[in-house]
Chain A
C-alpha cells in the first residue's frame, strides 16, 4: 500500500464530514428522523410518500450543488464507468441498500454514531466488499488502472 499524499485532502474531508454530521444532528434533534439517504428516498416508494419531511430533505439535497455554485465552482466529478456498468451498479446499490436497511449515511454515519452493532456489521460488510471490488476491477481485470 502507498498513500497518495498529493490527493489526500484532510481538512476539506474533515470539514465536509462535520457538515454531514451537523445535517444528521439537525434532522434527528429537529424532526426526530435518521439521515439515511437510501431509507429517505427509498421510503418514498414503500408507502411513506405522504411524509412531507422526506420531500423537503431531498429538495434541499438536490438544491445543494446549485447553492454551492453561487459561491464556488463544483469540485470535479470524474466517472469512468460506461452506461451498462452505471445501470447495473445503480440497481445493485438501490436494491442492496434497501435490503440491508441502510447505506453509507444511514449505517455508516448515523448508525455508527449510535454505536449500533448492526450498523457496524453493515458498514464493515459494504466497506470490505468495496475494497475487494475495486481490487478485482482495477488490479485483476485491469479496468481504470493508472
Chain B
C-alpha cells in the first residue's frame, strides 16, 4: 500500500511540474530574471503548492503515524548553520545558470530531453560525491 501511495505521489508531483511548465528552464530563468522581462509564474507555483501542502503538514504534525501505519518522518532539524547556507547558495548558482532544479531535471530527462539527461547525470554524480564526502567525515 505504501509503495502504491509513493508511486501515485511521484506521478502527481511530476504532472504538477509539467502542468505548471516548471520543467522548462527558460520559464524558470524568466522568473529569476528580475532585470529583464520578468515572468512571475514560478512564484504562483510555489504559492499554489504551499496552499495545499500547509494544511496537510498541520495535520501530519499532530499525528504519530501515517495512514499506512509508518512513523511520521517530519524533519525536526532547526539548525541554521553555514552548511545550510553554503549548500543552498551553491544550489542557487547551478539553478540560476541552467534553470533546472532536481525534480524538473529528472522529469525532463525521463521525457528524453538530452540536455536534461546530461544535467541529471551530473546532478546524480553530485549526490554521489556528497555521500562519499559524508562517509569520510
Which of A's residues lie within 8 Å of B, judged by CB? 1-4, 7-10, 12-35, 37-38, 41-42, 44-47, 52-54, 56-69, 74-81, 83, 85-101, 103-105, 107-114, 116-118, 121-123, 125-135, 137-139, 144-146
B110 touches A61 (CB 8 A): yes
* In-complex Cβ contact of B9 among A27, A75, A133, A137 (8 A): A27
Q: Which residues of B contact A4 (CB under 8 A)?
A: 30, 37-39
Interface pairs (27), CB distance under 8 Å: A15-B19, A17-B46, A20-B49, A21-B48, A23-B16, A24-B49, A25-B53, A26-B9, A27-B9, A29-B56, A32-B65, A32-B72, A37-B103, A42-B130, A45-B130, A57-B6, A61-B110, A64-B13, A69-B111, A75-B21, A80-B25, A94-B123, A96-B91, A99-B86, A100-B87, A105-B102, A133-B96
The SS class assigned to the B binding surface is helix
Chain B contact residue count (CB 8 A cutoff): 117
Known contacts A32-B66, A60-B13, A133-B92, A98 near B21 by CB under 8 Å: no
Which of B's residues lie within 8 Å of A, judged by CB? 2-27, 29-30, 32-57, 59-61, 63, 65-68, 70-75, 77-80, 83-103, 105-108, 110-111, 113, 115-116, 118-131, 134
For A42, give the chain B residue with the smallest CB separation: B127
B7 touches A113 (CB 8 A): no
A8 touches B121 (CB 8 A): no
A46 touches B131 (CB 8 A): yes
B7 touches A56 (CB 8 A): yes
Q: Which residues of B contact A45 (CB under 8 A)?
A: 124, 127-128, 130-131
* In-complex Cβ contact of B96 among A32, A60, A132 (8 A): A132
A7 touches B30 (CB 8 A): yes
Known contacts A52-B3, A61-B107, A103 near B102 by CB under 8 Å: yes
Q: Which residues of A contact B128 (CB under 8 A)?
A: 45, 94
